Amino acid sequence: MSTPTPSTNPLLRAWYDKETRSIIVQIIAAALILSFFAYIINNAVVNLAAIGKDISFNFLWQNASYDINQHLIEYSSTSNHFTAMIVGLINTLLVAAAGIVLATMLGFMLGVMRLSNNWLTQKIAYVYIEYVRNVPVLLHILLLHGLIINALPRPKGSYNFGDTFFLNNRGFQMPSPEFQSLFWIVGAFVVAGIAFAWWFSRHAQKVQDETGKAYPVAMINIAAIVLLPFAVYFVLGSPIEWDVPALKGFNFKGGIVVRPEFIALWLALSFYTAAFIGEIVRAGIVAINHGQTEAAQALGISNSRTLKLVVIPQALRVIIPPLTSQYLNLAKNSSLALAIGYMDIVATIGGISLNQTGREMECMLIVMAIYLAISLLISTVMNWYNNRIQLVER
């Protein structure tokens, strides 16, 4: 009896073909993964049915019956769990976005300081990075929250800034704007200024590439986006009324308050992530051949402009991929807000709503789906930017 060879057996011939084998392996792997998840889901449904529970999201339209101390949209204890979820989502996005901005600025500053020729500046950045990176972020959050609550005075002894801004252990009180009918004109000038700044930046870059002439892009853009709308604002007679906070009883009434929980979480996440970003920036700058800097200096370009126009643009190609991971970590670490009572998505729909409704499976699915969406959004934006700054090969 002869043994079948790959040339006579179609199955063996398909298996020995590299591309076909790769497809077969992927199909088998996908089938195994789907089977595993199907088993897990079926097991969960059966177990829930055994205790008289089903999977339903109707609880989202029931009254939440709890308060949220920070909400940027209308919310009260009579609102439903869906509204509470939206409030928690907004709070999560707010601290994540603010943290990414501050961590990026601090991180780039620390990265440059680590490469400074000044011994003191370099060592300060080194000590900060080594200390912060080697202490868990939760401890940073608890420490800052404790300092804010215990070190700042009570509302009656608030730090007063011109009878307009007040800082105390209840938060940072500031005036809230009430927009008048003519304010849309100011908004239109802001939008027009942003559009002009975008066009002018591209035009200035094109002129510089073709002729070498450099325009003061930053100053002109600031004038278009900030100074011109401010001038229009005053010409129209300041079409905004301000609700200034005032001390009434034991606390301030009116205005806007930035809660100490938000401040502590925002600063802790920013300081912690900035330490990692600083090392990423340092590594990215070091990766650029020193000949680039020497060539720029030979052309008479100052050190600051060399860093801005020569080193950083090339270093970004090294910096962006690991920087994306730090942004993702910051967004996910915001879930630690529950430790200090900041009402994010975990504390609302994944915490109080879960305990009130007993819908553990549904609440956890919602929380996981939201964090997955946030992570995919950050990854998409950063991957787009990374592809945009890559070298175009001829």
Domain spans of the chain?
10-47, 81-175+258-389, 183-243
What pLDDT, on a 0 to 100 scale, did the predictor assign at position 394? 52
The 10s digit of each residue's pLDDT in 302-315 is: 777 787 778 888 88
Distance CA 317, CA 386 (A): 7
The 10s digit of each residue's pLDDT in 148-184 is: 999 888 888 888 888 888 888 888 888 888 888 888 8
Superfamily of domain covering 81-175+258-389 = MetI-like (1.10.3720.10)
Residues 34-47, buried b or exposed e (16+ Cβ, 10 A)?
Answer: eeeeeeeeeeeeee
The 10s digit of each residue's pLDDT in 133-153 is: 999 999 999 999 999 999 888
pLDDT exceeds cutoff 60 at 7: no
Q: What share of the chain is helix, strand, coil (3-state, %, to 5)?
A: 70, 10, 25
Reference 263, options 337, 162, 161, 350; nearest CA is: 337
Record the tokens describing residue 181, joined without a space: 């009918």
Distance CA 214, CA 206 (A): 10
Reference 273, options 149, 14, 58, 98; nearest CA is: 98
Distance CA 325, CA 327 (A): 5
Q: State the chain's mean pLDDT as an integer.
A: 87
Higher pLDDT, 225 or 14: 225
The 10s digit of each residue's pLDDT in 34-57 is: 999 899 888 877 887 787 777 888
Determine if residue 254 is left, alpha or beta; phi over 0 gives left, psi from -120 to 50 gives alpha, anything else beta: left
Name the DSSP letter for residue 134: T
What pLDDT, on a 0 to 100 scale, did the predictor assign at position 204? 87
Query: How far is residue 301 from each of residues 22, 113, 255, 308, 309, measured CA to CA in Å?
Result: 53, 20, 48, 11, 10
The 10s digit of each residue's pLDDT in 249-301 is: 778 888 888 889 999 999 999 999 999 999 999 998 888 887 877 888 788 87
